[in-house]
Chains A and B, each alone.
Chain A
Amino acid sequence: MKVGIPSFLEDKSLRLVMFGGKGGVGKTTCAAATAQHLSQCYPLGSFLLVSTDPAHSLRDVMAGCPPPSNLKIIELNTQECLGRFMSEHCQHLRKIAERGTFLDDEDINQFLDLSLPGLDELLAFLEISKWVEERTYDSIVVDTAPTGHTLRLLNMPEFIQKWLETLDAMLAKYRYMKQLFSGAYRPDGLDKFLTNLSERVGKMAVLLRAPDYSRFVPVTVAEPMSIQETVGLILELESLKIPVTEIVVNQLYPENNCPVCSHWRAHQRAELASMFGKLSGYIVWGVPLYSEEVCHPKALEGFWKNVIDLNIKSLEISVKKNDLSIRVESSLVPPSQQTSLLIFAGKGGVGKTTLACATALQMAQDRPGQEVFLFSTDPAHSLSSCLEFPVGPSPKRICAGLTAMEIDAQAEFDSFKTHYQEELNRFLQSILSNLDLKFDREVMERIMDLSPPGIDEVMALTRAIEFLAGSNYDILILDSAPTGHLIRLLELPEIIDQWLKVFFSLFLKYKRIFRLPEISKQLIQMSKDLKILRSILLDPNRSALYAITILTEMAFQETKDLIAACRRMKINVPVLLLNLATPESNCPFCSVLYRRERQIMDKVRKTFSGLEQTVIYRQGEIQGLEKLGKLGRNLYKTKTEKSQNDYKVKYEANGITELLNGAR
C-alpha cells in the first residue's frame, strides 16, 4: 500500500472543497485538517473553513486554539444570516407581495414576521455563494451537515430558482399593466433584486459542477450502514453532476496481532471490498484510526500524514471472522408503562438507530399485547438497513407487536401541495367557469413553493403524531435525525403553531371569498395533533428522551449541548447511553483507546450524575432482527429478571471467548 497525497490537499485551483457523509465519520476532522494543511502550505493564500452543520463541532475540533493567520473559521449562525438577509431584502419582498397578491399590508407583515424553520441549508448556500462571488477567499473548505441535509444543500440552486420564479410570477401582472398603460416597461429595483439573486445562484450552480474548481469528498468509515449511505450519496451526486473523484475511508484499524484489532480489520476489509464492488473509478484514501483523539491543531497536522491509497488488490480478505459478543455493563430499567413517546437522540454515528431498533424489539417481546411503533424522520433512512427489513413511508409490520415506518418528509409535503393545487383549481373553476384569472391563478398555484425548506420536517412530525394520537399504538419510538436537526425538530411545535395561526386568520378573513375546505380541515387536524404532541412532550412520565453518546471529547461536548437544550425545553432526559466503548485488553493499541475512554467516562459520569447510565461495548455490526433482539435483551432488565450472574464473559490472554451468554 503506497502512501500518497490526496489531490484536494495540493490542487491550488480548487475554490470549493466539501466534505460530506454519514454523521460521526469524521467529516469535521477531515475538513479542519485539510483547511489547516492548505493554509500552511500556501501562506500567501486566504482560506475559509465553514460548517453548515447546525450541531457546530468546528470549535471542538480546534479545541479553542487559534488557526493559522490566513485561515478564517466560521460556524454559520442561521438566525444572524436570516436577520441580515431580511434586513437587506425585506422591502423587496413586501413590495413584490403587494403587487402580486390580493393580500393587504397587515397580512403581508404577518407572513414576513413568521420564523422560518430549516433555513440552514438555504442561508448557508447564499452565504457561500456571496463569498465565492466576492472572491474574498482563495478557497473555501465546507464541513457539511450529515448526508440527508447535505443533499438538500446541493439541491438549493433548483429550490431557489423555483422560489424566484414564483416571485417573478407575482410581478408579471404589474409588468403587463405597466406595459399596457404607459407603453413601455423598464425593469425596476424589484426586477434587479430577482435577477441579481438568480445570477448569483446560477453562478454557484455552475461552480458546484466545475470539476477543476470544486470537489465533493465523501467521507465514510468501513461499516455497512455508513458505506451503504455513502454509496447512495455518491450515486445522488453523480445524478446532480457534482464532481467526485476521491473518497476518504476513516478510522481504519492498524496492523497488529491483537485479536480485537484483527477482528475489526478483517471486518473493515470485507466491507470495503463490498464498497469497491459497487463503485468504480474513484481513488480511495484510507486514514488510520488514531489512538489519540484528533481534536487539536497539532493532531490535525498529522491527520493526513499516513494516508494510504486503498485499492481492491490491497485488500486481502482473511477468512476468519468471529463475532464479538454483545456486552452491556449494566442493564437498564425498561421505560415505564405510561411512557408513550421515546426519543433516541445523539450525534451522528453514535448508534441511535441500532439502539432504537433494539429497544423497540425488546419492548415488543417483553410486553405482549402492547403495540410498539418505531419510526424515523432521518432523511438518510437508516431503519431499513439496520433492521435488514424493507421499511417504507407507510406502516410496515416487522414482527409481533412491532410496526415500523420511515417518513419521507419531502413526499409528505409534495402530496400536501398537490392536494392544495387540485382544490384551488376546483375552486377557481367553480367561480369563473369559462373565464380565467390570468397571472393571479399562477401566483396562487405557486404560493406553496415559497414555503421554507424545513416545512417538510413539520409535515413529517405531524404525520407521526397521527399514530400517537390514534389509539392503536401504545408506545412510539422515534429514531431522530442527528442532534443539530433534532433540537430544531423539538422546537418546531412552537413554529408550526405560529404558521397555523397565520393561515387560520387568513382563511377566516377571506372566508366568504376564498373557500378551501379540505386544506383548512387538514390544517385544523394538524393543529389538534400538535397540541397532543406538545402535551406529551412536556409531560415527564409520558415521554422520555434517551441521549446516546460515544466516548470522545467531541461527542461529550455535543451531548452537553443536547441535554442543556432538552432541559431548556423541559423535555425529560432520564437515560444516557455510552455506546461503542472499547473493551479492555492487553493489545497496546486497544489499551490506549481504553484508557482515553475511561477518562471521558468519568467526566460523563460526573457531569450527568442524575441520569441512569450504562456502557455498551463495541461489538460486531448489529444488523438484522436476531442480533438486535439479543442486544435488546442485554440492554434492558426483563420483568422476570434472572440474577445477573448468568452472563459471564471472560477474556483469555490470547482471545475473547464468550463463555456463557444467558440463552434466552
Chain B
Amino acid sequence: MDDLFLDQTENISLCETLDRILNKGAVVVGDVTISVANVDLIYLGLQIIVTSIKSAREIINQTGDANVN
C-alpha cells in the first residue's frame, strides 16, 4: 500500500484545476439571499456559466465534428 503513496509524483495544483474547469466549462446554479443584521434584503437567483472563450468558440463552430463513427 505504501508504494502507492510514494509515487505521488503528479497531483493537480489549484490553478491547474481552475484551468481544467474553464476549459471544460461548468454551470453553477445557486440562490443567495443578502441580508444585513439578519434582515433578508436581496435575493439572487444565479445561473452562472463559467467557461473560457476558447472553449466557447469551439462549441459554437462545432457543427457536428463529433460524428465519430
By Cβ-Cβ distance, the 4 closest A-B pairs, closest first, are A435-B30, A189-B67, A188-B66, A91-B68
Q: Shortest distance in angstroms between B39's beta carbon and chain A's nearest beta carbon?
A: 18
- A190 touching B68 by the CB < 8 A rule? yes
- A508 touching B8 by the CB < 8 A rule? yes
**With A177-B59, A178-B62, A437-B28 known to touch, is A509 a contact of B4 (CB < 8 Å)?**
no
Q: Shortest distance in angstroms between B65's beta carbon and chain A's nearest beta carbon?
A: 8
A79-115: contact bitstring with B at CB < 8 Å (1 yes, 0 no)?
Answer: 0000000001001100100010010100000000000
Instruction: Say whether A176 faces chain B, with CB atoms less than 8 Å apart.
Output: yes
Q: Which residue of B lies closest to A186 (CB)?
A: B64
- B68 touching A182 by the CB < 8 A rule? no
- B29 touching A438 by the CB < 8 A rule? yes
Identify which of A61-69, A157-165, A203-211, A510-518 touches chain B: A510-518
- B66 touching A189 by the CB < 8 A rule? yes
Q: Which of A177, A186, A190, A434 interacts with B27 by CB under 8 Å?
A: A177
**With A524-B1, A527-B1 known to touch, is A508 a contact of B62 (CB < 8 Å)?**
no
Q: Which residue of A lies closest to B31 (CB)?
A: A434
Q: Which residue of B lies closest to A94 (CB)?
A: B68
Q: Which residue of A lies closest to B4 (CB)?
A: A504
Instruction: Say whether A193 faces chain B, with CB atoms less than 8 Å apart.
Output: yes
Q: How far is the CA of A99 from the CA of B29 in the complex (A)?
A: 19
Instruction: Say whether A168 faces chain B, with CB atoms less than 8 Å apart.
Output: no
Instruction: Say whether A213 faces chain B, with CB atoms less than 8 Å apart.
Output: no
- B27 touching A438 by the CB < 8 A rule? yes
Instruction: Say whether B46 faces chain A, with CB atoms less than 8 Å apart.
Output: yes
Q: Which of B5, B17, B67 interacts with A188 by CB under 8 Å?
A: B67
Residues of A within 8 A of B1 (CB): 524, 527-528
- B4 touching A189 by the CB < 8 A rule? no
- A511 touching B11 by the CB < 8 A rule? yes
Q: Shortest distance in angstroms between B8's beta carbon and chain A's nearest beta carbon?
A: 5
- B59 touching A438 by the CB < 8 A rule? no
Q: Shortest distance in angstroms between B18's beta carbon and chain A's nearest beta carbon?
A: 10
Instruction: Say whether B69 faces chain A, with CB atoms less than 8 Å apart.
Output: yes
- B64 touching A510 by the CB < 8 A rule? no
Q: How far is the CA of A509 from the CA of B10 in the complex (A)?
A: 6
- A439 touching B27 by the CB < 8 A rule? yes
A424-450: contact bitstring with B at CB < 8 Å (1 yes, 0 no)?
Answer: 000000001011111110000000000
A521-535: contact bitstring with B at CB < 8 Å (1 yes, 0 no)?
Answer: 000100110000000
Q: How far is the CA of A177 from the CA of B62 in the complex (A)?
A: 12
**Which B1-58 residues have C-beta < 8 A from chain A?**
1, 4-5, 8, 10-14, 17, 20-21, 24-32, 46-47, 49, 51, 56
Q: How far is the CA of A610 from the CA of B23 in the complex (A)?
A: 64
17 new A-B contacts at CB < 8 Å, known A177-B59, A189-B66, A505-B4: A91-B68, A92-B69, A95-B68, A173-B25, A176-B27, A177-B25, A188-B66, A189-B64, A190-B66, A193-B68, A435-B32, A436-B30, A438-B27, A438-B28, A438-B29, A512-B13, A512-B14
For A, the interface residue count at a CB cutoff of 8 angstroms equals 41
**With A188-B64, A190-B66 known to touch, is A173 a contact of B17 (CB < 8 Å)?**
no
Instruction: Say whether A180 faces chain B, with CB atoms less than 8 Å apart.
Output: yes
Residues of A within 8 A of B20 (CB): 102, 104
Instruction: Say whether A617 faces chain B, with CB atoms less than 8 Å apart.
Output: no
- A95 touching B29 by the CB < 8 A rule? no
Q: Which of A436, A439, A509 interacts with B12 by CB under 8 Å?
A: A509
Q: Shortest distance in angstroms between B11's beta carbon and chain A's nearest beta carbon?
A: 5
Q: Which residue of A lies closest to B28 (CB)?
A: A435
Q: Which of B12, B13, B46, B65 interacts with A435 by CB under 8 Å?
A: B46
Q: Which residue of B lies closest to A435 (CB)?
A: B30
Chain B interface size, as a band, is 35 or more
Using a CB–CB cutoff of 8 Å, the interface residues on chain A facing chain B are 88, 91-92, 95, 99, 102, 104, 173-174, 176-178, 180-182, 186, 188-190, 192-193, 432, 434-440, 501, 504-505, 508-513, 524, 527-528
Q: How far is the CA of A173 from the CA of B60 in the complex (A)?
A: 14
**With A92-B68, A508-B8, A512-B12 known to touch, is A181 a contact of B56 (CB < 8 Å)?**
yes
Residues of B within 8 A of A440 (CB): 26-27
Q: How far is the CA of A440 from the CA of B21 in the complex (A)?
A: 11
Q: How far is the CA of A510 from the CA of B11 in the complex (A)?
A: 6
Q: How far is the CA of A190 from the CA of B65 in the complex (A)?
A: 10
Q: How far is the CA of A369 from the CA of B31 in the complex (A)?
A: 64
- B10 touching A189 by the CB < 8 A rule? no
Q: Can you name 10 A-B residue pairings with CB atoms under 8 Å?
A: A102-B20, A173-B26, A177-B25, A181-B56, A188-B65, A188-B67, A436-B28, A438-B27, A510-B12, A528-B1
Q: Which of A180, A437, A509 interacts with B26 by CB under 8 Å?
A: A437
Residues of B within 8 A of A182 (CB): 59-60
Residues of B within 8 A of A178 (CB): 59, 62
Q: How far is the CA of A438 from the CA of B48 in the complex (A)?
A: 10
- B28 touching A95 by the CB < 8 A rule? no
Residues of A within 8 A of B68 (CB): 91-92, 95, 189-190, 193
Q: Shortest distance in angstroms between A511's beta carbon and chain B's nearest beta carbon?
A: 6
Residues of B within 8 A of A88 (CB): 69
- B11 touching A177 by the CB < 8 A rule? no
Identify which of B14, B27, B30 gathers the most chain A CB atoms within 10 Å of its CB: B27
Q: How far is the CA of A439 from the CA of B50 in the complex (A)?
A: 13
- A189 touching B69 by the CB < 8 A rule? yes
Q: Shortest distance in angstroms between A520's beta carbon and chain B's nearest beta carbon?
A: 11
Residues of B within 8 A of A524 (CB): 1
Residues of A within 8 A of B5 (CB): 508
Residues of B within 8 A of A102 (CB): 17, 20-21, 24
Q: Shortest distance in angstroms between A181's beta carbon and chain B's nearest beta carbon?
A: 5
